[in-house]
């Protein structure tokens, strides 16, 4: 496209997104408004990012205060809000140390680097291989798309970064071949989001964790989408009776202000020393203030207990919907991360929902993804259910 053929500002953007025909200009709680003033119930939460709803006051107030003081100073200096955020994450997880970055892909990149350096600099081996699983999604950088177990994500980016091996997800027998002399870590989603909202089997995860511990390879849990309360606990691993070595988080961490993090135990964190990794913007005063306000509120307010009750009610309504429609094959997920497997194209149902001013997403070609904010209420779930009845043509 030449400059002469550009007819709108949209044409100046690289076409990396299939954007919905909707421009959002305002958000509050579970709702967003378009430029014509139409109100939508948003059960996407910015793809599991606005866990406290849109522009939550508890976060906005802290961000506005920080805006008056200091936006950025780099990690060459001490950042009090970053240190406080690290403290609350450590106190409420298995971890001992935290590294801050800007996004989920960067958090997974850092995890991969940490795993390789742990194997080579700490254990003094040549191990470098990271095992991931079919239909996983770990990001779109060169390393994280290589870690992703989906060919469609990798097409056109050859040669892929070496050092990744894929096993079938939730396959007990496949774990017999988990470890080789080159294996340094396993990277795992406990609910595959982009892969179709598929929860990991409890016993399978327990067996996998035991193999990792026995062979001293790092168990790394990708909590980019499941973390910060999305599944009913602060982190999804807490529902599996395991203790990972590393978790990666982002999305809900800053309530929409970009921030990511890696939480590691003392053993794994030993691999990172000054100069081995870094980030210019990671955990800067502004993003750390948002993260600190977000996590503090989730931990201290009792919102997780309320969201567990609401997610049970949401699942109850989804199961009712399934019983009323012969095109719904399965309802699955954890907490406020739910999927509806359907016959036909999931995007058609997403489009119809949007026409009724309800925003939902897909998770693959035949799965609808439901991501309410943790702050939603029973009345909003009922409104969601009412629209979904129209979407599936049931009464």
Q: Please check if 280 is assigned to a binding site.
A: yes
Q: Please check if 332 is assigned to a binding site.
A: no
Q: Please check if 222 is assigned to a binding site.
A: yes
DSSP code string of 33-88: EETT--EEEE-SHHHHT-TT-BS-HHHHHHHHHHHHH-S---TTS--HHHHHHHHH
Q: Please check if 99 is assigned to a binding site.
A: no
DSSP 29: B
Q: Please check if 104 is assigned to a binding site.
A: yes
Q: Which residue has the tokens 């306000």?
A: 293
Q: Among residues 256, 262, 255, which one has the least CA distance to residue 112? A: 262
Q: Please check if 137 is assigned to a binding site.
A: yes
DSSP code string of 188-240: E-SEETTTTSEEPPHHHHHHHHHHHHHHT-EEEEE-TTTTTTTTSSSSGGGGT
Interatomic CA distance for residues 154 and 335, integer angstroms: 30
Q: Please check if 140 is assigned to a binding site.
A: yes
DSSP code string of 308-372: HHHHHHHHHHHHHHHHH-TTEEEEEEETTEEEEEESS-HHHHHHHHHHTTEE-EESSTTEEEE--
Q: Please check if 154 is assigned to a binding site.
A: no
CA 123 from chain centre, in angstroms, equals 30
Binding residue ranges = 104-105, 137, 140, 222-225, 279-280
Binding residue ranges for pyridoxal 5'-phosphate = 104-105, 137, 222-225, 280
Binding residue ranges for N(2)-acetyl-L-ornithine = 140, 279
């Amino acid at each position: 496209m030449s400059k002469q053929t550009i007819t709108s500002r949209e044409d100046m953007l690289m076409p990396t997104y299939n954007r919905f025909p909707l421009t959002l200009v305002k958000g509050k709680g579970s709702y967003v408004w378009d430029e014509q003033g139409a109100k939508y119930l948003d059960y996407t939460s910015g793809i599991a990012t606005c866990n406290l709803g849109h522009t939550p006051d508890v976060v906005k107030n802290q961000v506005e205060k920080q805006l008056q003081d200091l936006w950025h100073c780099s990690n060459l200096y001490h950042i009090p809000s970053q240190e406080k955020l690290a403290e609350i994450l450590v106190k409420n997880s298995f971890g001992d140390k935290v590294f801050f970055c800007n996004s989920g892909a960067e958090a997974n990149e850092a995890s991969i680097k940490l795993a390789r350096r742990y194997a080579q600099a700490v254990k003094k081996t040549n191990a470098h291989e990271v095992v991931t699983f079919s239909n996983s999604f770990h990001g779109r950088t060169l390393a994280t798309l290589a870690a992703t177990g989906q060919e469609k994500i990798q097409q056109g980016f050859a040669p892929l970064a070496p050092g990744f091996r894929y096993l079938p997800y939730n396959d007990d027998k496949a774990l017999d071949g988990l470890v080789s002399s080159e294996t340094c870590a396993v990277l795992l989603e406990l609910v595959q989001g982009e892969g179709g909202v598929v929860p990991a089997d409890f016993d399978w995860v327990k067996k996998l964790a035991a193999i990792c511990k026995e062979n001293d390879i790092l168990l790394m849990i990708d909590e980019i989408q499941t973390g910060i309360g999305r599944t009913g606990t602060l982190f999804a691993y807490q529902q599996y009776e395991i203790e990972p070595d590393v978790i990666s988080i982002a999305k809900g961490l800053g309530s929409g202000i970009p921030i990511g993090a890696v939480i590691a135990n003392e053993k794994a964190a030993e691999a990172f020393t000054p100069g081995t990794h870094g980030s210019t913007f990671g955990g800067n005063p502004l993003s750390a203030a948002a993260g600190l306000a977000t996590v503090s509120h989730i931990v201290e307010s009792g919102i997780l207990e309320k969201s567990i009750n609401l997610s049970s009610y949401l699942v109850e309504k989804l199961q009712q919907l399934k019983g009323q429609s012969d095109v719904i094959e399965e309802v699955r997920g954890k907490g406020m991360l739910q999927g509806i497997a359907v016959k036909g194209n999931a995007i058609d149902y997403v489009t119809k929902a949007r026409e009724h001013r309800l925003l939902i997403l897909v998770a693959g070609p035949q799965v609808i993804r439901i991501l309410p904010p943790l702050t939603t209420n029973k009345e909003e779930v009922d409104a969601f259910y009412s629209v979904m009845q129209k979407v599936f043509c049931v009464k």
